[in-house]
Amino acid sequence: MIPSKAGSAALTSIRIALDVMSGDESPSARMCSVIKLLTDKPDLFLYLIGDEVFIKSFLRMVPGIDWSRLAIVHSVKTVSMSDSPFSVLRSKQESSMWMMLELVASGEAHACVSAGNTGALMAMGRHLLQMVADVDRPAIATCIPCRKGSAILLDIGANVDSTAINLHQFAVMGSQLSSSVYHVYNPRVALMNVGTEDIKGNKQVRLASQLIQKDNRINYIGYIEGHAIFSGLADVIVCDGFVGNVALKTAEGVASLVKEELLATFGLNWWSRLLGLAVSPVLKEFCRRVDPVRYNGASFLGLQGIVVKSHGSADGKGFFQAVCQAIYEVQVGVSDCLMVDSGGGYTHSP
Amino acid sequence: MIPSKAGSAALTSIRIALDVMSGDESPSARMCSVIKLLTDKPDLFLYLIGDEVFIKSFLRMVPGIDWSRLAIVHSVKTVSMSDSPFSVLRSKQESSMWMMLELVASGEAHACVSAGNTGALMAMGRHLLQMVADVDRPAIATCIPCRKGSAILLDIGANVDSTAINLHQFAVMGSQLSSSVYHVYNPRVALMNVGTEDIKGNKQVRLASQLIQKDNRINYIGYIEGHAIFSGLADVIVCDGFVGNVALKTAEGVASLVKEELLATFGLNWWSRLLGLAVSPVLKEFCRRVDPVRYNGASFLGLQGIVVKSHGSADGKGFFQAVCQAIYEVQVGVSDCLMVDSGGGYTHSP
């Protein structure tokens, strides 16, 4: 499946497998990020999984491509956004997503990135990479910006019906990720709820709170409400995937609406338009600071391998950011930190 | 309980009962809004339920109070934020919240407003006001700002474990509220989910989608994701109360963070600070447009009476806004619109 010369050339590099085909945006958007990655990251080796003819014709349009730093892996199928997680295990074994995960499972790639169907990625990930001991279900974790620094939010969509035991396991994994990878000392872990009082929330959340409280590995600070997740009060915020997904996407929606409102306010009359021109660089800096693309790239935790999920609608810039996240996770050894044998063979310097 | 002269004086006015004691903020914050209400709303009669000595001493400090437009109802207990919904039905029958709801149940007041414990308010509301036929549980609905106009989001916290049948009923009530009260023609109703494809979401949401689709009273447009709830694509957004609560509070958190980031960006160096001074009126207008206080005041739907829930941490300005919401609901006859006999005796002009 993988050209042997590519395999040998890649032994000294960080090797990332990219699912070129899956996502809401066209594969061209992801190929644009490939070009930037090859330019910006000299130590990177990429497996590009997808339609070989398309990938080759895209790359041939770009002058100066170093073909020795990539391997094209041809796939004949693509997982669509409407494929069910159960059906893909049977029907999409020759898809770009499946073949990408196989490269991580075999150790050819240190990590992989896909912008495709989250449920399918989770089902295939569990099947091909296996779960970490003592973890029942993978969770997706992402960084969110806070008043000072950032926090980890999980799960943001892998599980839409989490039990108290699942939530407890997410708390353990989130805490390990925060301390080992983001170097937070004794990370403060909070559980998302509709209020901070003991009686608030549903049964799963209240039971999870008791389980987490009893766990000595976790520095549990109690419940946190939606408005406080960006306050910097907690380093890790644990919730069910349905709730986390809605929270994250709502945050993106508000940030986008607020930016539009701001621009509209500066266009209200000739004087504010004039002021808008004057403050244009300041507004650009502001937009950069609240740009969700900066935080694209969510980590699948609980799998024996590094899998990064890009936002489905990520453009080239966003997908690039997700691959950077994967590179970072390989460099800091996320799998090792989470006491997992990734089988990837890449050893990072301490 | 109610001074008879106050009762007779109030017959021609809109009569609102206010729970002065409950909420995160001190009762003084809510009393400040009382002063503003008496000044700004000449047709308003207020029942102030709480500690009589405190209320009287507060009012005596304000010159020119028209005592004929208010009645003080003394309560000896207050529902705290940590009281469980089950216990309050037995232990808090002499609380400000309970007595406020009794005034609506007896028809003395047309509507009531509390910033207190949501679960307790729901439990007492169900007990004292009874449910509308064909509705199993009340839902809390609020207006959220959109690109153009606004939308109704429900439930935002009355139920933290909604079944598919509950979600279907919320869709019916939300649609009726939108068309009858906010005059939206054939309101577009969407169901919150983690994706827009049929396979997405948990069992409850997928089953609710089928139920809503079959209901001819509802103009159902399918699933909606968190980032799209402010887009204006839907007039009514239906979700479980846990999810809605997190979404709403997350939106508030982001709006607040973004405002701070904006101010910080304008304080980065002497040039941007100078620009910040120049654009200060424009920034103020922007902050006003994204101010969550403008939307404070959520409606309990499904009860036989008008109950408005203010944000627990609302200041005087926010509580004032919630009372304005209650006045508006009395004026447009929310109870009648939702095919409910509120028993309030107030007849609005068409």
Using CA coordinates, name the residue in chain A closest to B266.
A282
CB < 8 Å to B228, chain A = 249, 253
pLDDT the model gives residue A346: 33
Q: Is some CB atom of chain A closer than 8 A to the CB atom of B242?
A: yes
Q: Do A289 and B261 touch (CB under 8 A)?
A: yes
Q: Is some CB atom of chain B closer than 8 A to the CB atom of A295?
A: no
Residue B300 β-bridge partners: B140
Which residues make up the CATH 3.40.718.10 domain(s) of chain B?
1-130+303-332, 136-301
- Name the minimum distance, in Å, from the CA of B308 to any CA of chain A: 18
Specify whether the CB–CB gap between A13 and A38 falls below 8 A.
no
| A positions 19-78 inside 8 Å of B (CB) | none
pLDDT-above-90 percentage for chain A: 63
Size of interface A-B (CB pairs under 8 A): 187
pLDDT the model gives residue A283: 66
Give residue-wise pLDDT tens across range A278-306: 666 666 666 666 665 567 889 999 999 99
Q: Is some CB atom of chain B closer than 8 A to the CB atom of A203?
A: yes
B174 CB contacts (<8 Å, ≥6 apart)?
B139, B141, B152, B154, B187, B189, B236, B237, B238, B301
Q: Is B239 exposed, middle or buried (0-12, 13-18, 19+ CB in 10 A)?
A: buried
* pTM (predicted TM-score): 0.86
Q: Is A293 helix (H, G, I), strand (E, B) or coil?
A: helix
CB-CB: which of B119, B160, B254 is closest to A255?
Answer: B254
Rounded Cα distance between B168 and B139, Å, is 11
Q: Is some CB atom of chain A closer than 8 A to the CB atom of B248?
A: yes
pLDDT-above-90 percentage for chain B: 63
pLDDT the model gives residue B288: 66
Using CA coordinates, name the residue in chain A closest to B145.
A257
CB < 8 Å to B241, chain A = 194
Q: Model ipTM?
A: 0.84
CB-CB: which of A241, A250, A279 is closest to B227?
Answer: A250
For B297, the enclosing helix (H) or strand (E) is none
What are the structure tokens assigned to B143, written together?
Answer: 């207006």
pLDDT the model gives residue B278: 67
Between the alpha carbon of residue B268 and those of residues A333, B174, B251, B272, B280, the distances in Å are 36, 45, 26, 6, 15
pLDDT the model gives residue A348: 34
Quick one: fold of A136-301? Isopropylmalate Dehydrogenase (3.40.718)
For the segment(s) B1-130+303-332, the CATH number from 3.40.718.10, 3.40.50.1970, 3.40.50.2300, 3.30.70.100 is 3.40.718.10
- Name the minimum distance, in Å, from the CA of B184 to any CA of chain A: 22
* pLDDT band at residue A5 using 50, 70 and 90 as cut-offs: very low
Give residue-wise pLDDT tens across range A125-142: 999 998 998 899 999 999
CB < 8 Å to B226, chain A = 245-253
What SS3 string covers B239-282?
Answer: CCHHHHHHHHHHHHHHHHHHHHHHHHHCCCCHHHHHHHHHCHHH
Interface test with A, best of B137, B240, B282 (most A CBs within 10 A): B282
Rounded Cα distance between B116 and B322, Å, is 13
Interface test with A, best of B83, B254, B293 (most A CBs within 10 A): B254
pLDDT the model gives residue B4: 39
* Half-sphere CA count of A11, side-chain side, radius 13 A: 4
